[in-house]
Amino acid sequence: MEQVNILIIGAGVIGLAIARELSEEFVDVVLVEKEETFGRHTSSRNSEVLHSGIYYPEGSLKAQLCVNGIQEIYKFAKENNVPFKNCGKLIVANNKEELFILEELKINGEKNSVIGLEIINESECKKIESQIKAKYALKVPSTGIIDSHSLMQKLESEAENNGAFIVYEMEVISIDASDEGYFANFANGDVFEAKTIINCAGLFSDKIADMVGINIERENLKLHWCKGEYYKSSKIKDINHLIYPVPDPNGVFLGIHLTINLQGEVRFGPNAYYVDELNYEMDEAYKSQFLKAIKKYINIDEENLQLDDCGIRAKLQKEGGEFRDFYIKEESEKGFPNFINCIGIESPGLTCCLTIAKEVRKLI
């Protein structure tokens, strides 16, 4: 049996950022991951957008951690040669009702301390994005994109340089509380005794909480999986900003948007629909939904849209349910001291990885 000080479960971008942060201060930090390498799930299946923080309710963890997180991540990327681009984004509106939503978003963003927000008209929009159809647009200059694989690679190497151990192909299958802490039992028969456990298991973080004995139904911590698919188009070129429609009124997702990657290639998505199984297969069932949404802001023909990829969101918000914030908590109150849960780390989790890590450090 291994004895460790801090055991982190899950090597997505959140677990890696936490391993880096904690290994600066603590010894015997071990990160375990069930897959053969980092980021095989949500952290490599997303839009790679660094969000500004305009969407989230004032005072929410999502707002606070995002507004600070984007600045931290730009700084980290610059200092560590992680490719990124502060390209900015336009949220487009094509009628008065949508303009009203833009105005509300601008007010919300300003409450959250997002700077530089500006509503521009059709001709100003045409000057900066000639292919985009928009009567109005909310300009969000702080938004950007990042190479998420390079980011995770850097977080992994920094954590290891600080002395953290990262062990792949180690699946936690059960957890027992002990007087000194916790026993984590692995699928290969290994057992680790840990004083502190940090649960960053993404889509499975509710299952890990359940393993230690937290009643996830009663505590309202059950995750709802929500799939998002992407299409790509090599036909559309020379776009400079990310282009978003006004967000979904139910707050489930931000609308099928156009992103560019660091090579300038164009992708559309993700859409959003709740699913019961972890299945990354895709078909073209939603192609007409994509075309309808995209054509509102850019002209495109069906043959120029190809299926690309998909991801699954770990949402605390159930279908038809209210906004839910990130759940980042030390669980002494529930009878599990030194057990820290990170549950419901959906978007903007990538943007917030460094500030979530700082938040967790405060809980130790």
210 lies in the site for ligand FAD, by CB under 6 A: no
Strand order in the sheet with 84-85: 49-50, 144-146, 84-85
- Phi/psi class of residue 297: alpha, beta or left (left: φ > 0; alpha: ψ in -120 to 50)? alpha
The correct pick among 246, 348, 354, 360 for binding ligand FAD (CB under 6 A) is 348
Quick check: 308 binds ligand FAD (CB under 6 A)? no
Specify the stretch interacting with ligand FAD by CB under 6 A; choose among 83-91, 113-121, 286-294, 346-354: 346-354
Q: Does 271 bind ligand FAD (CB under 6 A)?
A: no
Distance of CA 81 to the CA centre of its chain: 21
Shortest CB 220 distance to ligand FAD, Å = 19
Note whether 87 and 242 are within 8 A (CB): yes
Contact segment (CB under 6 A) with ligand FAD among 3-11, 118-126, 239-247, 299-307 equals 3-11
Residue closer to ligand FAD, measured from CB, 47 or 355: 47
Q: Contacting ligand FAD (CB under 6 A), which of 7, 8, 11, 343?
A: 11
| Cβ partners under 8 Å of residue 123, min gap 6 | none
Smallest separation, CB 277 to ligand FAD (Å): 15
Q: Coil, helix or strand for 241? A: coil
Residues 12-31 that bind ligand FAD (CB under 6 A): 12-15
Quote the longest CA-to-CA distance of the chain: 67
259 vs 338 by CB, closer to ligand FAD? 259
For position 257 contacting ligand FAD by CB under 6 A, the verdict is no
Cα(358)–Cα(18) distance, rounded to whole angstroms?
8
* Using rule CB under 6 A, residue 243 touches ligand FAD: no
Q: Is 340 in the site for ligand FAD (CB under 6 A)?
A: no
State the minimum distance, in angstroms, from the CB of residue 122 to ligand FAD. Answer: 27
98 binds ligand FAD (CB under 6 A): no
- Using CB under 6 A, which residues numbered 178 to 197 contact ligand FAD? none
At 21, phi and psi to the nearest 5? -65, -50
Residues binding ligand FAD: number (CB under 6 A): 41
Q: Which is nearer to ligand FAD, 43 or 108 (CB)?
A: 43
Candidates 7, 22, 33, 209: give the one binding ligand FAD (CB under 6 A): 33
SS (H, E, C) 267-318: EEECCCEEECCCCCCCCCCCHHHHHHHHHCCCCCCHHHCEEEEEEEEEECCC
Note whether 221 and 213 are within 8 A (CB): no
Q: Which of 20, 34, 89, 257 binds ligand FAD (CB under 6 A)?
A: 34
**Residues 75, 81, 82, 86: what is their CA dihedral angle, to the nearest 10 degrees?**
50
Q: 68 Cβ partners below 8 Å, 6+ apart?
A: 355
Instruction: Give the C-alpha separation, 28 to 197, whole Å.
Output: 12
Q: Closest approach of Cβ 332 to ligand FAD, in Å?
A: 22
Q: Interface residues with ligand FAD (CB under 6 A)? A: 9-15, 32-35, 39-43, 45-49, 51, 171-172, 200-204, 228, 270, 311-313, 345-351
